[in-house]
Amino acid sequence: MVSRVIPVDSFDLVIFGGTGDLARRKIFPALYRRFISGQMPEGSRIIGAARSDHNALEFRALIGQAIREFGGAAAQIDNKLKEFLDNLDYVTIDAKGTNGWSELAGMVRKDLVNAFYFSVAPSLFGPLAERLHAHNLADQTSRIVVEKPFGRDLKSAKELNAILALHFDEEQIYRIDHYLGKETVQNLMAVRFGNILFEPLWNSQYVDHIQITVAETVGVGGRGGYYDKSGAIRDMIQNHLMQLLCLIAMEPPSRFDPNSVRDEKLKVIRALEPVVPHHIVRGQYDATQTEPSYRDDAGDPKSRTESFVALKCEISNWRWAGTPFYLRTGKKLKARASEIAVVFKDAPHAIFGQEAGRHRNILIIRLQPNEGMTLGVTIKEPGPGGMRLVDVPLDMTFADALGPEAAEAPDAYERLIMDVVRGDQTLFMRGDEVEAAWKWTDPIVQGIAERHDVPKPYKVGTSGPDDANLLLKRDGREWREIRE
């Protein structure tokens, strides 16, 4: 299978914060890979913008180095890299001052697609939007891209939305959640809405429960101070896991267009019940012989911020009433693995008798590693000696099923940046969606603070604190093992 490259119009893309960590590790390597794939039209240009003083040549050298470091195998093709870097320009600019703005206004070509990527702290979103407007840089066809975190609660998210709305229409604002750009996440929609097989079973009558796990092996390391102000609920649940929950639970949209899809996701968030305290388990990783504990990493021996959380959520609508959704995410767990597991109910009548055991169908959607899907089905164990049942996986690892190109499919940032150029908002969060997600998350975070809850310690390399297992055990269920 050969992946198709869909042409896009020529563009001028300005990356505010072009010298920062995100730009160097993700944005420029992603753009470079699109260039290699032939998707960057001739005449397009990427302009880095930050306060540090660089000329275009120095900036190209800086980005060249970043691409060699973070760009994977493609980055080692020297002549291609040079060709790409020739499309880069730089402007020294102050988002909060006057410096650099007229230069930028002179650089951006109005007859092309104009996109402005705000890869800077959220406190600069307002000043940037204001100045883009004041310098006539943004018109009705311009787009802005903003990064998470989009607020730290409902109030701040509303403030950010209001600031951006002063200068841009909602159709011009692209709020990135890179999870939505992952191949499997989109495949989730293809599987649900492109097949007749699953949809009739996709409800509380047939689904016992759903588990969503995003497990990491890394700790918070050098960014402990920053992380300690947010924690796993704000950093992961409010955005990434919530987005996965929406895609798995939403009603079929009438069309695959941005607002039809996002309307359905919003309905899911609005139907979420408040989470009761005993359905929340939080944890902090312990120290090992050689590695610091979460509290050491955070630089606060009394920190109450969680590096792990498990939650039980309920969606009050016709489709899902009575089916729990269990979400968990954490740092320094036993494997780096993200998956959604749809666990179906038992067959209504056990014709093979109790001794055949309990067998359930499970659909597993793997986000990483080995993106793909597995359907656990029950068959007869081969051989004589009566009817013994055994569960086997119907496995579809995309790289195996679709050929090696599938493994080289564009990564999330590649896809999402090209969607911005294309003007397709389907995989970006709408303002009301973000606010609804905070409206649900705020009472969870506030309740924890008011109760002075202390996270439970857990050992590095495990599945989190024991209480997370009890959360499911109380309901007669168990988590799937976290493994790569």
Q: Report the DSSP beta bridge partners of residue 46.
A: 13, 88
Query: Which DSSP string corresponds to 427-468?
Result: TSB-HHHHHHHHHHHHHHHHHHHHHT--PEEE-TTBSS-HHH
Name which position in 14, 19, 34, 472 contacts ligand NAP (CB under 6 A): 19
119 near ligand NAP, rule: CB under 6 A: yes
The 8-class DSSP code of residue 71 comes to S
| Least distance to ligand NAP, CB of residue 313, Å | 24
- In the complex, the smallest distance separating the C-beta of residue 165 from ligand NAP, rounded to whole angstroms, is 19
Q: Alpha-carbon dihedral of residues 466, 472, 477, 481, nearest 10 degrees?
A: -50
Closer Cβ to ligand NAP, 10 or 92, answer by number:
92
Among 67-75, 90-98, 238-246, 304-312, the segment contacting ligand NAP (CB under 6 A): 90-98
Contact flags string 190-219 toward ligand NAP, x per CB under 6 A = ------------------------------
Q: According to the binding rule CB under 6 A, does residue 52 interact with ligand NAP?
A: yes
| Active-site annotation holder among 167, 178, 209, 240 | 240
Count of residues of this chain found to bind ligand NAP when the rule CB under 6 A is applied: 23
- Say how far apart CA 365 and CA 385 lie, in whole Å: 35
Would residue 167 show up in a list of annotated catalytic residues for this protein? no
In angstroms, the CA 396 to CA 400 distance is 7
Q: How far is the CB of 250 from ligand NAP (least distance, A)?
A: 25
Q: Is 120 in the site for ligand NAP (CB under 6 A)?
A: yes
Stretch that binds ligand NAP, among 19-27, 32-40, 297-305, 451-459 (CB under 6 A): 19-27
Task: List the beta strands (DSSP E) in 389-442.
Answer: 389-397
Q: Cβ neighbours of residue 197 under 8 Å, at least 6 residues apart?
A: none
Alpha-carbon distance values, 463 to 80, 213, 255, 328, 372 (Å): 44, 10, 39, 10, 22
**Residue 100 or 447 with smaller CB distance to ligand NAP:** 100
Token digits of residue 275: 């989470």
* CA 306 vs CA 217, 273, 294, 299, 311: distances in Å: 15, 22, 9, 14, 13
**Rounded least distance, CB 226 to ligand NAP, Å:** 8
Q: Does 163 help bind ligand NAP (rule: CB under 6 A)? A: no
Interface positions, 92-111, toward ligand NAP (CB under 6 A): 93-96
Q: How many CB atoms lie within 10 A of CB 480?
A: 14
Angle value at C-alpha 464, between 460 and 468, nearest 5 degrees: 165
Q: Which stretch binds ligand NAP (CB under 6 A): 64-72, 118-126, 415-423, 442-450?
A: 118-126
Region near ligand NAP per CB under 6 A, out of 46-54, 298-306, 447-455, 465-473:
46-54
Comparison of 54 and 456: residue with beta carbon closer to ligand NAP:
54
Site of tokens 């002549």: 79
Active site residues: 240
**Contact set with ligand NAP (CB under 6 A):** 16-23, 50-52, 93-96, 119-122, 124, 147-149
